[in-house]
A and B are shown apart, each in its own frame.
Chain A
Amino acid sequence: MVLSAITEFAAQEPKIYGLVIGLIAAAILAAVINVVAMLLVWLERKVMGDFQSRYGPNRVGGRWGVLQLGADAIKLFTKEDIIPRGADKPVYVWAPIVAVATTMLVAGALPFGALIIDGREIPLVVANMDISAFYIEAALSIMAIGAFMAGWSSNNKYSMLGAFRGIARMIAYEVPMGICVISVAIMAHSLNVVEIVEAQSVWFAFAQPIGFVIFAIALITDLGRMPFDQTEAEEEIIAGYNTEYSGIRFGLLYFQEYIVFLLGSILLVHLYLGGWKGPVIPVISFISPMIWFFMKLVIVLVALIWIRVSLPRFRIDQVTDLGWKILLPLSMVNLVWAVVVGMYFA
């Protein structure tokens, strides 16, 4: 009864129907992503503990400490929200929102695995657009704007330095990263992430090893994780661009970092590690792509955490040097390689 009414409505007003469905999907996506990001913070603290002969959280929520992030979220979201007197108030208030919103832009175009229904792969993606790889790359760069707004509007010297570092680093690394994405697109004959995944009969990590390494480095830089966390180098500039933020606004920025961490890792899996591709597992063939995708994702996440706990931080000039002088020429080489190999296979 209700279903038939909905289908009728969809037939009559396809635009409104699409909008409503899109909004619902976006809401579900946002909720799921936030919960997953919280789990990711928890995972990082536990994994880091394992690397460092500690336990990590193990008191709140049973012996695995799974509720730790719940406690953190409750605390952060109910803390006093201070806006410094010297701050540029509208920019200060909007910065975390911009930061989170741009991450959600990325999330909209990124497939979160696939399901096999009737022998057909259905990718789980909110907006399956033709140029999604390009779009994601662009949205990832906009993210630096949020951080810059936060740093500039705080009227704090540490924040400002953090913001400037963030922009300098973003400019230096978006170029090689973009060229890597182009190389991948050339080999896959498409800019659509879903089609790029489909095209990987051989993982692009093997087809373009140089590109893979450059993309991974540029991605870590974009995520602002060790050894590239100059924007919030605790020992130099306190907490970088979010030094003045407290309470819920800091909470947003804090979780946003982990959402980006998650989305960036997913992107890496899709572009270079074959996404959800893998041999079909017989009995549970329905979710077998999800299993492969999830395994690859966890491996990438743990590897990035591993890098975080075992490398010292670069200096900001060394970071930009690395970006412009080494990664950019190498990514050009990779582009030529992709063209040659792509033409050969075509």
Chain B
Amino acid sequence: MTTANDVLAALQSAFPGVIEEAKVGPERQLWATIKPDRIVDVCKYLRDNHSFDHYTGAVGVDKIDEGLFEVTEMLASHGAHQVVALLKVKTKRDGPSVKSLTGLFWNANWYEREIWEMLGINFEGHPELYPLLLPDELVGVWPWRKDFKGYPDYNTAERAIERLTAEGYTEYSIPPTEAEVKAGTVQKERPKYPTFREREEMEIKGESEMILHMGPQHAVVPGPFLLDILVDGERVKKAFLDVGYIHKGIEKILENRTYMQGIPITDRLCYMASLTNNEAYCGAVERLLGIEAPERAQYIRIILEELSRIQSHLLGTAEFLTLIASAVYSPFLYMIIDREDVLTCIESVTGARINHSFVRFGGVRNDLPDGFKDMTLDTLKMIREKTEEYKELFLSDSIYRKRMEGVGVLSPHDARRLGVSGPPLRASDTPYDMRREDPYLLYKDLDFDVITRKEGDSKARVEVRLDEIFESCYIIEQCLDQIPSGPIMAEGIPKKIKPEPGEAYYRVEDHRGEMGFFVVSDGSDKPVKVKARGPVYAYMQALPPLLEGVYIADVVAIAGSMDACTSEVDR
């Protein structure tokens, strides 16, 4: 079994003098600082010789005191071993530039674009360094830099200037304030790049082709994003994706909040998975603090997170059904009814339907209420019966199978290359589940199967979700049996949390895939940098290649089977 130490030793022998600084973390994590000009070689070596084939993401940190930007590349493996390599590259604050990894890992594209538009770090060799999340007017102000003072402001709308266009539409522009002009945070020269519209229109080749806009408001989108498909008749030739319509800047906001105040913000990262988002954030901070939640609290977290997984999968499947059928398709409504029962169970503990803010550093907010066990067991029994029924329905419905079988096939190789995780990856015959791979909480003591499917098509993705509902039920039942009595909060946690300076990375299995939080602390009560590595960000990046050559009706079937959550993509 490969350990972080082995990888480090191999790296040091293969690249003498390239690794400037290295440390092996407790949780099979390898932290290393690499010389900037060799980062591509190191990553290539790790990918080819040590099967680090899972590019998890990149984080850009503004170390303003040292006059540096740090870019951390996160590499992991799809099941060959459990080591996470976090390779840092440093670059100067004026004229920052690092080498791009897009040549090695296809899915590095979006992560690097995001760092470019937010921090202004240039990526040498990146094929399309265009803004991803930000509107055009904000490109060039680099909002995530620490010396960014332009916003926040509290009266954006009052400053808006109204203007009537020639076509009769009202348009608004929001001019900068004097303070912003003085601080020099207003863009003076906008970087030159073609806009999204221009880029997609360049692809139109023939008379019979047109671009069909699906979004930002369209029945297919679970939240605003723009999916533009270049169609020739009913065939899709190419797909383009524009996200960022609800980009809230959560990571910047978290930097302006104390650690405790950050928990409600992480709720809103993805509204279907607020408990796992809490868990990932709290887990990372717990790692920084060096504490662990008591056993009962860990069980409570598992129970609630699995209940939350059930409701998320039910809603995800239900939304998907509305896409391939219609909003009056009965099974969709039946699933929502079932979900309400699950929500009742969660609500009896957390008091909320969607945004729970329940997990705390070193524990949970409150204990399980009386009668929770019986209520949950009843609900689970019902959920099992119903899920059996749905599975049977989908198996026996020939229209459903005609629509779903062989549509949007993601081969195991492609799925890994595109960086998807969670149910879409497991549907492509890759048993990659954080609960097994990198067990957090008490998952290593629990018995459950990692559901996989061979086919990798839309039908398999939905089946994986339905089967995972059974596994979640089984996990909850075990937890309810085993849960000990005891405290629900670890002892000696200060009211004001100030972790030691350092970094931590913590990953959990979100309902939709691998969710990681990267937290950097400088010893104060606010984090220096929080990076949320969400699963849907990776799905969405992988969506356009999947859509090439399918019918328009398949677009919704594929996009729906991915179970996207725009809120998390845009953050």
**Which A residues fall within an 8 A CB radius of B?**
48, 51-54, 85, 157-158, 161, 164-165, 226-227, 229-230, 233-238, 308-318
Contacts and interface: CB of A to CB of B under 8 A. Distances in A.
A170 B552 CA distance: 19
A308 B399 CA distance: 13
A61 to B, nearest CB: 22
A314 B322 CA distance: 13
B218 A311 contact: no
B94 interface: no
Contact of A52 (B322, B326, B330): B330
23 contacts: A51-B330, A52-B328, A157-B213, A161-B234, A235-B220, A235-B322, A235-B323, A235-B326, A236-B220, A236-B556, A238-B218, A309-B328, A310-B330, A312-B324, A312-B329, A312-B400, A312-B403, A314-B403, A315-B403, A315-B551, A315-B553, A316-B234, A317-B551
Contacts, number: 88
Interface in B79-127: none
4 smallest A-B Cβ distances: which pairs?
A: A312-B325, A315-B553, A52-B333, A235-B219
Nearest to A237: B552
Interface string B547-569: 00001111110000000000000
Nearest to A313: B325
Nearest to A315: B553
Interface string B294-337: 00000000000000000000000000011111111111011001
A315 B326 CA distance: 13
Given A157-B212, A311-B399, A318-B402, A53 B324 contact: no
A51 B328 CA distance: 10
B189 interface: no
Contact of A313 (B220, B324, B331): B324
B397 interface: yes
Given A157-B213, A161-B552, A312-B321, 8 more contacts: A54-B333, A226-B328, A229-B326, A235-B219, A235-B326, A311-B325, A312-B325, A317-B234
A314 B326 contact: no
A233 B328 CA distance: 12
Nearest to B337: A53
B556 A235 contact: yes
B138 interface: no
Query: Of A52, A54, A229, A235, which is in contact with the most chain B CB atoms at under 10 Å from its CB?
Result: A235
B210 interface: yes
B338 to A, nearest CB: 11
A38 to B, nearest CB: 19
A200 B554 CA distance: 44
Contacts of A234: 219, 326-327
A254 to B, nearest CB: 15
A158 to B, nearest CB: 8
B130 to A, nearest CB: 25
B558 to A, nearest CB: 12
Identify whether the interface residues of A are mostly helix, strand, loop, or mixed.
helix
Contacts of A54: 333
Nearest to A311: B399
Given A53-B333, A312-B329, A317-B234, A233 B553 contact: yes
Contacts of B399: 227, 311-314
Nearest to B552: A236
B397 A238 contact: no
Nearest to B214: A236
Contacts of A314: 399, 402-403
A238 B219 CA distance: 7
Query: Of B218, B331, B553, which is in contact with the most chain A CB atoms at under 10 Å from its CB?
Result: B553
Contacts of A312: 321, 324-325, 329, 397, 399-400, 403
Nearest to B393: A310
B553 A230 contact: yes
Contacts of B233: 164
B335 to A, nearest CB: 11
Contacts of B330: 51-52, 309-310
Contact of B328 (A48, A157, A315): A48
Query: Of B212, B325, B331, which is in contact with the most chain A CB atoms at under 10 Å from its CB?
Result: B325
Nearest to B322: A235
B328 A308 contact: yes
Given A51-B330, A226-B325, A226-B326, A315 B554 contact: yes
A29 B155 CA distance: 61
A48 B327 CA distance: 11
A295 to B, nearest CB: 25
Nearest to A233: B553
Nearest to B211: A157
A344 to B, nearest CB: 35
Contacts of B234: 161, 165, 316-317
Contacts of B326: 226, 229, 233-235, 313
Contacts of B212: 157-158, 161
B259 to A, nearest CB: 42
A318 B337 CA distance: 32
A283 B399 CA distance: 48
Nearest to B401: A312
Contacts of B322: 235
A296 to B, nearest CB: 25
Nearest to A85: B167
Nearest to B219: A235
Contacts of A226: 325-326, 328-329
Contacts of A165: 234
Contacts of B331: 310
Query: Of A51, A233, A316, which is in contact with the most chain B CB atoms at under 10 Å from its CB?
Result: A233
Contacts of B329: 226, 309-312
B85 to A, nearest CB: 42
A224 B210 CA distance: 25
Contacts of B220: 235-236
A317 B554 CA distance: 11
Nearest to B212: A157
A30 to B, nearest CB: 29
B135 to A, nearest CB: 25
Interface string B394-433: 0001011011000000000000000000000000000000
Interface string B218-232: 111000000000000
Contacts of A51: 330
Contacts of B325: 226-227, 311-313
Contacts of A161: 212, 234, 552
A158 B234 CA distance: 11
A229 to B, nearest CB: 7
A311 B398 CA distance: 10
B551 A316 contact: yes
Contacts of A158: 212
A161 B235 CA distance: 11
Contact of A157 (B210, B323, B327, B400): B210
A230 B554 CA distance: 13
Interface string B165-206: 001000000000000000000000000000000000000000
Interface string B319-359: 00111111111110110010000000000000000000000
